[in-house]
A = this chain, B = another copy of it.
Amino acid sequence: MNFIDFLGFSVGICVTISVIPQIWKVWKTKKVKDISLLTFSVLTFGIALWVVYGVLKNDMPIIVTNSISLLLNIVMVYFIIYYEKE
Contact = CB atoms under 8 A, between A and B. Distances in A.
Interface in A20-79: 20-22, 24-26, 29, 31-36, 38-40, 42-43, 45-47, 49-50, 52-53, 56-57, 61
Give the copy number.
2
A81 to B, nearest CB: 14
Interface of A: 3-4, 7-8, 10-12, 14-15, 17-22, 24-26, 29, 31-36, 38-40, 42-43, 45-47, 49-50, 52-53, 56-57, 61
Contacts of A3: 56
A28 B7 CA distance: 37
Contacts of A31: 33-34
A69 to B, nearest CB: 10
A35 B38 contact: no
